[in-house]
């Protein structure tokens, strides 16, 4: 008697396939469990509240030490304000300046008002005063002062009046950030939804990825609030998390849904289509998500709390979006079945009848690339290297608020005039001195000596002011620096103050550190430059290892690293060209500021290295899947690129659109982040994945799958669908003989 045992010992399904299978069999549990998780995380996070950084926690080096002395002593500097009055003839501004002093006093919101100081040529006067009350809330109380200065300005049209200060700039910043991020959130989501409508041709299918991405963000934001009690966050961390969460959440769902829809279009039933999607796209989502999270984890090595907060936020949102894509999404697709096509748009729906395995456009573009791979590889690499060339001259610094503001902002014009006319005025260096007895003769002599030495040599401005806090035994000494507050002259003056003057004066009378806007920027950059190498090495190593294990190919792992580095370098080059040199800045609605925000290169590197793997893993998985079915490498490359072209294009357009929204915001750092990420994703998904990747793989041929013998112990990872036992009714009946 003979029996058919086919399927009795079928290979064990992959982890992704098992998760997808469980979700389909327990779809109500998966869906309700997801909703309960999102609600619980949101409620717990709301109850916990989000904790932001203390002032000194966002600094580094001596600046952080100085700020910590003030924080520990409970000292908060009052919010300072400056009003500059300019006239065409010397002294003609005095009446207006006197009216400014009277008007701001009358508001009852200001403390000491310093009599107007004249400029060297006598054409400008500077009125200084401080806001009363808690400096942390001064921005909320400065409007009456702004109105008072505005009335004086209207009454004296013969002079030019401008205001800048901690409170007024803080109010401007709060107003702008509130409007900008609200616009980003309300623009990014509809953009993603519109692109998905075009991709799927049906409203419900388009709503699923957006809904899952948003719920993932809500849950991650709740958990982030809990985590912030141990790891304090920067103000914009949640906005960065939304940016990354929307991008990866939509992409992961897009990969999964498109594969399921393609398999249905190929004639498979719903159960089989979901099984194939879980075994292929589900696995790609897990590999991609793990890669992104490991890349983001590199920011923990930066030594800066800012990046640690970014790392925690992005890892949380990617983890939750990834889990949602392989659990609740297959459950929803199983529940909806063909109803996922609800709300079909007729014009867009006509092309959905075919399987997305061979787009004519992608096939047309790919044919010459595979016919002459060497030529196209050289051309594509040349273009990327040309775009990357400006990176060699990258200059980073912590951008001041005046650099963050768009040109034409009245407050920016006031700041620039103050900086030019009263060097060091808007942002002096601040020496913080902690002594055993701040009133001792030794300390008084040391402070007097510091004032005397800064008055010689021309590197420092006037006046040097001293604020003594007798009860805390702390003194603050404001020292105006030469230059514009950030150029070479200012930096040289800061070095002189730190290395020569402070150690020989107040440094010998107690513990003294120098802080201030320029000092903050210098210390932050120094810390970043010291710690950036470990971050880069960590990200490169873990990405290499993950690609090696996932594809069992040393060649694929190496080319993955090189292609991603090329994408990052091109992004850096574009950022430097646009924002540092101003080349083509008008095309992006911005202008040159002479520098890249200090935290931007590391953040862009980590984010792009992670997100680039979305496309790379998905495309190479389709190529490996085709090769495992018996196709030659060149045919497998052609099939993999063509079959993934539609989903990669849709995913890239969504990412570019979301990032481009941030490029339209007012703040310079948000513009830099938006342009850098948008351009990089565009180049990565087109020039790199559609030209450079297939041409390089075609040139390498079978060497793409090279694995040294000593690595033969690596686990075998299948990139296709796993065979499953046939149903009982399909099995042959045993035949007796």
Q: What is the pLDDT of residues 286-322, one digit of tens each?
A: 888 888 898 889 899 888 898 999 999 999 999 999 9
Q: Give the separation between CA 76 and CA 96, rounded to whole angstroms.
A: 31
Residue 395 CB neighbours (<10 A): 10
Task: Please determine, for residue 178, whether its predicted confidence score (pLDDT) is greater than 80.
Answer: no
In this structure, the chain runs to a length of 737
Residue 87 has pLDDT above 90, yes or no: yes
Q: Which of 55, 53, 51 is nearest to 71 (CA)?
A: 55
User: What was the pLDDT predicted at 668?
Assistant: 87
Average pLDDT score over residue span 458-469 = 86
Q: Cα separation of 454 and 431, whole Å?
A: 12
Element (H, E) at 86: strand 80-86
Model confidence, pTM = 0.80
Please check the confidence at residue 650 and state whether its pLDDT lies above 60.
yes
| Tokens 């470990």 -> residue | 534
Kindly indicate the confidence band of residue 275, based on its pLDDT and cuts at 50, 70 and 90.
confident
Q: Which residue has the tokens 């091109």?
A: 570
125 DSSP β-pair partners: 85, 118
What is the mean pLDDT of the segment spanning 529-533?
85
Most confident of 242-246, 363-367, 494-498, 649-653: 494-498
| In the block, residue with structure tokens 């696995």 | 283
Q: Which residues of 218-236 are buried (b: 16+ CB within 10 A; e: fewer)?
A: bbbbbbbbbbbeebbbbeb
Beta carbons of 592 and 581 less than 8 angstroms apart: yes
Give pLDDT, residue 349. Answer: 52
Give the H or E element holding residue 320. Answer: helix 305-326
More confident call, 477 vs 9 = 477
Q: Is the pLDDT of residue 719 over 70?
A: no
Strands 596-597 and 396-397: parallel
Binned at pLDDT 50, 70 and 90, residue 725 comes out as very low
- Sort residue 552 into left (φ over 0), alpha (ψ -120 to 50) or beta: left
Kindly list the strands in the beta sheet with 511-515, ordered across the sheet, starting from the edge strand earlier in the chain: 465-469, 474-479, 429-434, 511-515
CA distances, 691 to each of 381, 423, 642 (Å): 9, 53, 12
Residue 36 has pLDDT above 90, yes or no: yes
pLDDT given for residue 423 in this prediction: 67
What is the percentage of the chain residues whose pLDDT exceeds 90? 40
Q: SS3 for 325-362, per residue?
A: HHCHHHHHHHHHHHHHHCCECHHHHHHHHCCCCCCHHH
Total Cβ atoms within 10 A of residue 538 = 18
pLDDT in the model for residue 5: 38
Lowest mean pLDDT across 217-221, 423-427, 458-462: 423-427
pLDDT for res 107: 94
Greater pLDDT, 514 or 616: 514
Q: Cα–Cα distance between 150 and 162 in angstroms, integer?
A: 9
Q: What is the mean pLDDT of the chain?
A: 85
The pLDDT tens digits for 671-709 are 898 888 888 888 988 888 889 999 999 999 999 989 898
CA dist 674 and 645 (Å) reads: 24
In the predicted structure, residue 82 carries a pLDDT above the cut 90:
yes
Is the pLDDT confidence value at 400 over 80? no
pLDDT for the residue numbered 728 = 42
**Which residues are registered as beta bridge partners of 55?**
none
pLDDT score of 62: 94
Whole-number Å distance between alpha carbons of 277 and 284: 10
| pLDDT score at 352 | 47
Q: Is-contact 101 83, C-beta < 8 A?
A: no
Over residues 155-176, mean pLDDT? 90
**How many degrees, rounded to 5, is the angle at CA 426 between CA 424 and CA 432?**
75
CB 207 within 8 A of CB 193: yes
pLDDT of residue 6: 38
Place of tokens 């249905």: 264
Report the distance separating Cα 425 and Cα 463, nearest Å: 9
Lowest mean pLDDT of 341-350, 486-495, 649-658, name the range. 341-350
* Confidence (pLDDT) at 612: 79
pLDDT on residue 717: 62
Instruction: Name the one residue in this structure whose structure tokens are 């049906």.
Output: 202
* pLDDT tens digits, 118-141: 988 999 999 999 999 888 899 999
pLDDT at 722 over 70: no
**Under 8 Å between Cβ of 108 and 194:** no
Mean pLDDT of all residues in 13-22: 80
């Amino acid at each position: 008697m003979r029996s058919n045992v086919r399927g009795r010992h079928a290979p064990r399904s992959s982890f992704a396939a098992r998760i997808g299978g469980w979700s389909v069999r327990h779809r109500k549990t998966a869906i309700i469990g997801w909703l309960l998780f999102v609600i619980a995380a949101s409620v717990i996070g709301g109850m916990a509240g989000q904790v932001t950084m203390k002032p000194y926690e966002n600094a580094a080096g001596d600046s952080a030490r100085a700020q910590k002395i003030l924080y520990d002593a409970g000292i908060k500097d009052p919010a300072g304000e400056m009003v500059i009055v300019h006239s065409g003839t010397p002294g003609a501004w005095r009446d207006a300046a006197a009216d400014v002093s009277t008007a701001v006093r009358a508001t009852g919101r200001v403390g000491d008002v310093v009599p107007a100081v004249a400029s060297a040529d006598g054409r400008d006067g500077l009125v200084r005063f401080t806001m009363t009350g808690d400096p942390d809330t001064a921005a909320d109380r400065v409007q009456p002062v702004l109105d008072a200065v505005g009335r004086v300005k209207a009454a004296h049209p013969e002079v030019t009046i401008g205001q800048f200060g901690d409170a007024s700039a803080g109010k401007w910043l709060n107003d702008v950030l509130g409007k900008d991020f609200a616009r980003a959130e309300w623009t990014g989501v509809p953009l993603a939804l519109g692109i998905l409508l075009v991709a799927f041709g049906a409203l419900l299918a388009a709503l699923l990825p957006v809904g899952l991405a948003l719920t993932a963000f809500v849950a991650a934001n709740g958990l982030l609030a809990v985590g912030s009690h141990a790891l304090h966050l920067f103000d914009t961390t949640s906005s960065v998390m939304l940016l990354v969460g929307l991008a990866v959440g939509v992409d992961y769902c897009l990969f999964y849904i498109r594969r399921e829809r393609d398999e249905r279009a190929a004639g498979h039933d719903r159960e089989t289509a979901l099984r194939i999607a879980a075994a292929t796209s589900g696995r790609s989502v897990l590999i991609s998500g793990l890669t992104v999270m490991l890349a983001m984890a590199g920011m923990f090595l930066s030594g800066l709390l800012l990046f640690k907060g970014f790392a925690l936020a992005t890892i949380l949102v990617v983890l939750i979006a990834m889990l949602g894509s392989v659990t609740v999404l297959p459950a929803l697709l199983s529940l909806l079945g063909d109803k996922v096509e609800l709300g079909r748009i007729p014009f867009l729906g006509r092309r959905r009848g075919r399987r997305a395995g061979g787009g004519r456009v992608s096939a047309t573009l790919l044919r010459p690339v595979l016919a002459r791979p060497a030529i196209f590889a050289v051309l594509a690499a040349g273009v990327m290297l040309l775009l990357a060339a400006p990176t060699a001259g990258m200059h980073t610094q912590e951008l001041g608020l005046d650099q963050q503001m768009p040109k034409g902002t009245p407050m920016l014009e006031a700041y620039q005039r103050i900086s030019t006319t009263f060097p060091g005025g808007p942002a002096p260096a601040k020496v913080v001195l902690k002594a055993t007895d701040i009133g001792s003769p030794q300390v008084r002599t040391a402070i007097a000596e510091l004032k005397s030495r800064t008055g010689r040599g021309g590197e420092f401005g006037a006046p040097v002011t001293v604020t003594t806090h007798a009860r805390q035994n702390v003194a603050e000494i404001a020292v105006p620096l030469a230059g514009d507050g950030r150029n070479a002259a200012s930096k040289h003056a800061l070095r002189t103050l730190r290395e020569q003057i402070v150690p020989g004066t107040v440094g010998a009378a107690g513990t003294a550190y120098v802080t201030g806007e320029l000092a903050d920027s210098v210390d932050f950059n120094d810390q970043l430059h010291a710690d950036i190498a470990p971050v880069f090495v960590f990200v490169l190593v873990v990405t290499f290892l993950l690609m090696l294990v996932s594809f069992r190919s040393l060649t694929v792992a190496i080319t993955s690293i090189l292609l991603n580095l090329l994408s990052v370098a091109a992004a850096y080059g574009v950022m430097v060209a646009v924002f540092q040199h101003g080349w083509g800045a008008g095309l992006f609605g911005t202008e040159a500021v002479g520098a890249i925000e200090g935290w931007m290169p590391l953040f862009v590197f980590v984010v792009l290295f992670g997100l680039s793997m979305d496309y790379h893993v998905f495309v190479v998985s389709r190529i490996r899947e085709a090769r495992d079915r018996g196709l030659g490498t060149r045919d497998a490359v052609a099939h993999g690129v063509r079959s993934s072209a539609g989903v990669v294009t849709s995913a890239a357009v969504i990412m570019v659109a979301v990032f481009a929204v941030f490029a339209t915001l007012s703040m310079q750092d948000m513009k830099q982040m938006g342009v850098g990420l948008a351009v990089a994703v565009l180049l990565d998904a087109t020039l790199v994945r559609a030209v450079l990747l297939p041409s390089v793989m075609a040139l390498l041929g079978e060497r793409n799958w090279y694995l040294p013998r000593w690595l033969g112990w690596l686990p075998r990872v299948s990139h296709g669908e796993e065979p499953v036992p046939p149903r009982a009714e399909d099995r042959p009946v045993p035949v007796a003989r």
